[in-house]
């Protein structure tokens, strides 16, 4: 009786715990590069970080935040529904709590909406400070 037949690497990487901790501690969605940077002393390879985070997404521990023209970010899967802000200056992505009203209702008749994304862009507080 094999329950996790296709879920090969599930929970088995030696890096999983530390990667989950990095993502959780970041307080904002982080990229594979940021994760790898945080773990640089371990010597972990990029491909492994990709494999681990993808595995965690499949396993319901992480959520992938996909953005136009930018590396995907990863965040804990258990956060309540929210959206994101991408800083045009430092490219960091921040959480935006809440949601706008009637978003899904925007779709014209006949379109079946299964999910929606709202992405705000502009300048984060730090980069506003830096430019003064």
Strand order in the sheet with 30-31: 30-31, 73-76, 62-65
Residue in 43, 69, 80, 132 binding its own copies, rule: CB under 8 A: 69
103: partner contacted, choices its own copies, DNA, none (Cβ within 5-8 A by kind): its own copies
Taking CB under 8 A as the binding criterion, the range among 6-14, 20-28, 48-56, 119-127 that sits at the site for its own copies is: 119-127
What's the burial of 102, exposed, middle or buried (CB within 10 Å: 0-12/13-18/19+)? exposed
By the rule CB under 7 A, 85 interacts with DNA: no
For residue 73, list its beta bridge partners.
31, 65
Give the interface with DNA as residue ranges (CB under 7 A): 5-15, 31-33, 42-48, 50-52, 54, 70-72
């Amino acid at each position: 009786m094999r329950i996790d037949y296709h879920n090969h690497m599930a929970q088995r990487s030696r890096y999983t715990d530390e990667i989950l901790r990095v993502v959780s501690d970041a307080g904002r969605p982080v990229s594979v590069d940021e994760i790898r940077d945080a773990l640089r002393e371990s010597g972990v390879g990029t491909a492994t970080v990709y494999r681990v985070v993808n595995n965690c997404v499949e396993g319901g521990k992480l959520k992938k935040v996909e953005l136009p023209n930018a590396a995907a970010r990863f965040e804990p899967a258990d956060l309540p529904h929210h959206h994101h802000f991408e800083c045009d200056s430092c490219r960091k992505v921040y959480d935006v709590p809440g949601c706008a009203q009637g978003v899904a209702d925007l779709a014209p008749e006949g379109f079946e909406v299964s999910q929606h994304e709202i992405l705000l862009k502009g300048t984060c507080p730090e980069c506003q400070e830096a430019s003064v």
